[in-house]
Chains A and B, each alone.
Chain A
Amino acid sequence: DAEITQSPRHKITETGRQVTLACHQTWNHNNMFWYRQDLGHGLRLIHYSYGVQDTNKGEVSDGYSVSRSNTEDLPLTLESAASSQTSVYFCASSESGSGEETQYFGPGTRLLVL
């Protein structure tokens, strides 16, 4: 069965360190998204990609970067982790131009920045 996976599921890091969160989908979807979810804010879009070599900034992109070298993967990098980036991170994917914006979400990565 097609799926979307994230790793690691839990991560503790220190302020200032670079951290990369992995997202891998086997749906063969062109569209991929990274969100963070925080109490009181809901899901907020960090970065998104509509295909290989395409990346775009979302609502809360400062301090984050992504790259898309193939269809299946969209890693999210925190350049220099800050305590404000403690959150739960979700990756999602959707089919391009389907007319139905069904985004399939991964299980999430819980990140704690100390």
Chain B
Amino acid sequence: QKEVEQDPGPLSVPEGAIVSLNCTYSNSAFQYFMWYRQYSRKGPELLMYTYSSGNKEDGRFTAQVDKSSKYISLFIRDSQPSDSATYLCAMTHTGANSKLTFGKGITLSVRP
């Protein structure tokens, strides 16, 4: 079993839809959880960052972590065509000098 599993997609939604992106993981030592957004032919950029369990909201984006289920989600409200990108989840054990383990990414397309 891979340490981090992410739905492969692709995912296509109409503009204005609520989008739910998910990852599961197997390593209970993971404590830091991130979502990166990657536009076509660009490098990944950090979108959301969460420590341990709980929710974090930033504008139209909400990151949710359920450590008991080893499950993380990214919700996008009122999706826009500009949200069309590949979304990668990433996680790590500790904060200092630790390596990230990435999901494979899911490509989202928001149709106008």
Contacts and interface: CB of A to CB of B under 8 A. Distances in A.
Interface size for chain B: under 10, 10 to 19, 20 to 34, or 35 or more residues?
A: 20 to 34
A7 B92 CA distance: 28
Interface majority SS on A: helix, strand, loop or mixed?
A: loop
Nearest to A99: B95
Contact of B96 (A33, A97, A104, A106): A97
A90 B43 contact: yes
A45 interface: yes
B41 interface: yes
Interface of A: 31, 33, 40-43, 45, 48, 50, 58, 90, 92, 96-108
28 contacts: A31-B97, A40-B104, A41-B104, A42-B103, A43-B44, A45-B99, A45-B100, A48-B99, A58-B99, A90-B43, A96-B96, A96-B97, A97-B95, A97-B96, A98-B95, A98-B96, A100-B49, A101-B32, A101-B34, A101-B95, A102-B49, A103-B100, A104-B46, A105-B44, A106-B43, A107-B43, A108-B41, A108-B43
